[in-house]
Structure 1
Amino acid sequence: MPTRFNYDRLAELLAQFDMTPSAAEVQGMLTGLIATGSDAQSDELMTLMTDLAYDGNTMPAELKNLLREQAEEIQAALGDRDMGYQLLLPDDQAPLGDRLQALGGWVQSFLVGFGVNQANVANTSGDLREALDDMIEIAKLDFDDEDGEDAERAYFEVAEYLRISAMMCFTELGHHQQTVPEKNKTLH
């Protein structure tokens, strides 16, 4: 699924609005919120993002539109049958240290978004609880700037695991909350 923004372009746009979180952190936060049931088009989502990512300050309309577009893209990608959701991280040409830092920020921000909407994970599947536990452990890691083939492979494996975990979360929690049950219609 093609995306409208790459990491560098979104980082540039967010910097125009003095956003504190990085592009990866913004996507992680939005993903955590949407994966747990927030609707991409809801005013509630923008209120949460104002509080979480813009220090509660009044968010300019242009920034709201940018975040709403990104949220809609995330929601569509999470629900994509072809598993088209991708983490928004620096490209493969960026130094591994920068990519690791962005990955750490993404997972921490995902957990923030998740925590806002999901106070109790007891009712989730064992697989999702395990993935969330793993995400918590990944968020605690101090990513070293090791270079080399093993470090690259580990980076890609962790990024893929986080991608799949986010989609699993959406399938189990977010997808169901966004489908409104039809009321029984009786014909007379």
Structure 2
Amino acid sequence: MSTAKTEHSVYEHIQTFLEPLHLPITASYLFGYALSKVLQGKHDPKLCLAAYTTQLKLDEKLSQKIEPLVEPIIELIYLQLLETSIELENMLPNSEMPLSARIYSLVEFLQAFLLGIEQETLGDFVDEPEALEEMLNDFSVLTQMDMDEEDSEESEANYVEIIEYVRIGILLMAEHALFFIEQRQAKANQVHH
């Protein structure tokens, strides 16, 4: 029996865990919201869980059910952003899903991400807020995508381009996020000593 994980196993594992709970969220939503919080340096799993609980109006029982997911999600995102990389393939459904389902998940991911980003305090957590405002506005526009897109080569190519744009936007944000600038500097200082 192989123990190798597929590149989408993280998303699939979390989505499989969530489905029987009948929550108003998906794995994509959890990832989008957690990503926004980690970018802002708010990567404490308990704080993120509290934010999910408040945002989604979860009762204590449901909050406890998603608690085991929060720390691994945050850890995955944190470690990737620390290395200035992000693998959206782990946060969204794979290409075996119909394109409309993948678009729906991407829209949910972006909505949760934008919900978690405190745009009015953008200057508090990035060094060049003006450079990122346009990207966040573009993300907002992307949340209005047509989710009934037919599976075609052209539609698939457009989706791949959008995913890459989102990935680059997130990396740009991580590059300018004060928390990650400090983390990278601390890591560089450790290497030199």
TM-score band, normalised by shorter chain: 0.7 to 0.9
C-alpha change, 1:120 and 1:24, in structure 2 (3 Å) is: same
In structure 1, runs of 5+ residues without a counterpart are 182-188
Distance in 2 (CA, whole Å) between partners of 1:42 and 1:8 is 21
Residue 138 of structure 1 and its aligned partner are, at CA, apart by: 0.7
Two-structure CA RMSD over aligned residues (Å) = 2.6
TM-score by length of 1: 0.79
- % same residue: 22
The answer as to 2:136 corresponding to 1:113 is no
TM-score by length of 2: 0.77
Residue 32 of structure 1 and its aligned partner are, at CA, apart by: 1.2
Task: Output one character per residue of 1:64-87: Cα deviation in whole Å (capped at 9) or x when no partner.
Answer: 122111111111112224x24325
Aligned pair count reads 175
Distance in 1 (CA, whole Å) between partners of 2:26 and 2:15 is 7
The answer as to 2:96 corresponding to 1:93 is yes
Higher relative contact order (CA 8 A, sep 6+): 1
The aligned amino acid for 2:82 is G
Q: Which residue number corresponds to residue 142 of structure 1?
A: 146
Distance in 2 (CA, whole Å) between partners of 1:124 and 1:152 is 33
The aligned amino acid for 1:100 is I
CA contact (8 A) 1:34 1:170 kept: no
Distance in 2 (CA, whole Å) between partners of 1:14 and 1:180 is 37
CA contact (8 A) 1:37 1:177 kept: no
CA contact (8 A) 1:89 1:102 kept: yes
Distance in 1 (CA, whole Å) between partners of 2:129 and 2:83 is 21
In structure 2, runs of 5+ residues without a counterpart are 1-5, 187-193
Q: Which residue number corresponds to residue 75 of structure 1?
A: 78
